[in-house]
Amino acid sequence: MRIGVYGGTFNPIHRGHLTAVRAAADALGLEKVLLIPDNLPPHKALPAGSATGEDRLEMCRLTAGEVPGMEVLDLELRRSGPSYTSDTLAELHAQYPDDELWLLVGSDMFLSLQEWHEPERILSLAGIAAFHRTRGDETERFAQQKAYLEQIYGARVALLENPDVVEISSTELRAQLAQGRGRSFLTEAVYGYVLRRGLYGTHADLKHLTPEELRPIALSFLKPKRMPHVLGTEHEAAVLARRYGADVTSARIAALLHDCLEDTDASFDEITRLFGRTVAELVEGVTKLTRVQYSTMEEQQMENLRKMFMAMSKDIRVILIKIADRLHNTRTMQFQSPEKQISKSRETMDIYAPLAHRLGMQKIKWELEDTSLKYLDPEGYNEIMRYLNAHQAEADAFMKAIQSKITTRLSAVGIHGSIYGRIKHVYSIYRKMKAQNKTIDELYDMYAFRVIVDSIPDCYNVLGHIHDLFNLVPGRFKDYISTPKPNMYQSLHTTVIGQ
């Protein structure tokens, strides 16, 4: 295996470093790149106002997901004294004795390599991959240095071009950050970390940020693999907040931060200090729900747990954010292990789908149930999907005819109403098949129509007209107007045989 070794102060790590890593990985066929921030650079002291070693290490870790195969090591930060490359390569050679190490260096470092501490040892342990500039006399100087190192030390040297080179030094970038500029040279998470920690002379009022301004700071709390999930949860939380009348801005902010207490070292006090108590309490509410331990339970136990969820939520946005979190999880379930797919799907079916139902989120409930069924009983799910796809045209024509008949009747009697038709969702069909012990083509209750009118009297009038148009199935009428559901849902339900 070919392994790249890229060391430096990374004060801070920026896009120029990352484009160099990508260029080296492509040119040399590197399967792994080890990013190693140093402790005490032997060639020059760290300038005043530099980030600590711990901060530089964390900023490097936040970029780990930017380049496939890139890992961040703290081995130089754990050593006392100057960070000599020869010692680092010796330690890595012991760890990877059968692999090929390549040391990645910039122009200035390459041209002075023979002046480093123990150059013979360095060149015996690793090849040198140098990024060179093609302007002026650089090409000739690089060729001469390459020939010199190969002749004197028997070195392996590769001269690399970086087609996406970013022309900025860390010194210039630190100066820009102090002036409120330079964001484009950093990844979002690193920029957020700089602001959150107040590095390089930056000052940000974190309690009064828009969600767009907060986003990089929220990402700075997370491991790279969690970042896409949190951004997805922010989107879903905003959609749900708009739909159900919650404050969209605070829902987005809390969604961005919802993993901080659960998956990072951040504390409630720190979140309160940085972002204010309202946001901290939302985040803490989501975290408390996340920490509930799930196992197989009887229905009564599940009902108790659902009640506990509601009691724990002082603010409905907590539930909205948690449902948004789970909704995004289900939409990305294909990336989970088979074991996680089953456990998460069971949890979703037992807890989150009933919660969504109780809050009147029917479309969310259907999606949660259908996606969960896909992993809990893939054969049953696929059987229903094959049937629905095969009969799609027939179903569309049937629903169009029924909707037209209802519309014509209501128009004739002067009732204003909106009519919606749909095929029942997959899990609903699945449940009917199991409960009635029937195949899908034996079911008669496959379609649902909703008629929304302006008044309660009109509801009962429409019911009469529906029963006049179609044959009533006895025992299937339910009056949720006179007896509303616990979530105050009110409507009339009936089952008829379409013609």
The one catalytic residue among 74, 263, 315, 445: 263
Annotate 474-490 with b (16+ C-beta within 10 A) or e (fewer): eeeeeeeeeeeeeeeee
Output the 3-class SS for 215-226: HHHHHCCCCHHH
Distance CA 377, CA 374 (A): 6
- For every residue of 438-462, DSSP letters joined together read --GGG-S--EEEEEEESSHHHHHHH
User: Residue 406 in contact with residue 416, Cβ under 8 Å?
Assistant: no
Contacts of 469 (CB under 8 A, 6+ apart): 405, 406, 409, 496
Consecutive H or E run containing 423: strand 417-423
71-76 long-range contacts (CB < 8 A, ≥24 apart) are 71/32, 71/33, 71/34, 71/35, 72/34, 72/35, 72/36, 72/37, 73/34, 73/35, 73/36, 74/37, 75/36, 76/7, 76/36, 76/37, 76/38, 76/39
Q: Is 262 a catalytic residue?
A: yes
User: Residue 118 in contact with residue 84, Cβ under 8 Å?
Assistant: yes
The one catalytic residue among 188, 262, 383, 445: 262
Active site residues: 262-263
